[in-house]
Amino acid sequence: MKRTLFSFAVLLLAAFNYASGQDLKLNDLEYFERQGVNILVYSNLFTGGFNDEKNAGIELIHHGVRTAQGGAVRLSNTPEQWDLVPAMSNRKVDRASQTIETTLGYKEYDFDSRVVVTAKGKGVEIAVYLDKPVPKALEGKAGFNLEFLPSQYWGKAYLMDGRPNRFPRYAVSNTVTKPNSEKIKQFKGYVTSDDRGTGKFIDPLPLETGRTFLLAPDEPGRLVKITSPDADLMLFDGRMLAQNGWFVVRSLLPAGKTGKVLTWTVEPNAIKSWVREPNIGFSQVGYIPAQPKIAVIELDKKDKPLTKASLYKIGDDGNATEIFSSKIAPWGNYYKYNYVKFDFSSVKTPGIYYIQYGKVKTNNFLIENNVYDKITDATSDVWIPIHMDHMFVNEAYRVWHGEPFKEGYRQAPPNTDHFDLHSQGLTTDTKYKALELIPGLNVGGFFDAGDFDIETGSNISVVQNFVQTWEYFKPLRDETFVSQKQRYVDLHRPDGTPDVLQFIEHGTLNLVAQAENIGHMSQTLTNSVLDNYHHLGDAASLTDGLPYNPNLRPYEVAPDGRSSGVKDDMWAFTSRNPGLDLSAATMFAAASRALKGYNDDLSARALQQSKRLLKEATELLANKPQNEARREGSSADISTNLQLYVSTGEQQYINKFQELLWPGLERNLNFNLLTALNAIPHMDAAYKEKLRPYVVKYNDYIKGLEKDNPYGVPIGLSNWAGNGGIQSFGTTVCFANKYFPDIVDASHAFKVANWLFGCHPYHNYSFVATVGATRPKAVFYGNNRADFSAIPGNVAPGVLFRKPDHFENYDDWPFLWGENEGTIAGNTGYLIFGSAFKNLVK
CB atoms within 10 A of CB 544: 18
Query: What letter represents residue 677's amino acid?
Result: L
CB atoms within 10 A of CB 26: 23
3-state SS, residue 688 = helix
| Widest Cα–Cα separation across the chain | 90
User: Half-sphere exposure (CA, 13 Å, Cβ side) for 591?
Assistant: 38
* Segments in 649-709 forming alpha helices (H): 651-667, 669-678, 685-708
Of 208, 205, 260, 256, the residue nearest 230 (C-alpha) = 260
Cα–Cα distances in Å, from 140 out to 144, 183, 604, 838? 12, 12, 63, 61
CA–CA dist 41, 116 (Å, integer)? 9
CA–CA dist 224, 39 (Å, integer)? 12
CA–CA dist 8, 501 (Å, integer)? 63
Give the containing element (helix H, strand E) for 612.
helix 600-622
Cα–Cα distances in Å, from 343 out to 296, 366, 394, 658, 753? 9, 16, 45, 44, 16
Per the document, the length of the chain is: 842
Query: Considering 531, 538, 812, 819, which one is annotated as catalytic?
Result: 812
Verify whether residue 812 is a known catalytic residue: yes
Of 413, 401, 422, 457, the residue nearest 533 (C-alpha) = 422
**Rg value, the chain, Cα:** 28
Of 78, 227, 243, the residue nearest 147 (C-alpha) = 78
* Per-residue b or e along 670-689, where b marks 16 or more CB atoms closer than 10 Å to that residue's CB: eebbbbbbbbbeebeeeebe
Cα–Cα distances in Å, from 518 out to 410, 437, 545, 692? 11, 11, 22, 43
Q: What is the 3-state secondary structure (H, E, C) of 104-140?
A: EEECCCCEEEEEEEEEECCEEEEEEEECCCCCHHHCC
Verify whether residue 821 is a known catalytic residue: yes
Dihedral sign of CA atoms 797, 803, 807, 810 in order = negative
3-state SS, residue 13 = helix
The answer to whether 557 and 564 have CB atoms below 8 angstroms apart is: yes
* Segments in 744-798 forming alpha helices (H): 747-756
- As annotated, the active-site residues are 812, 821
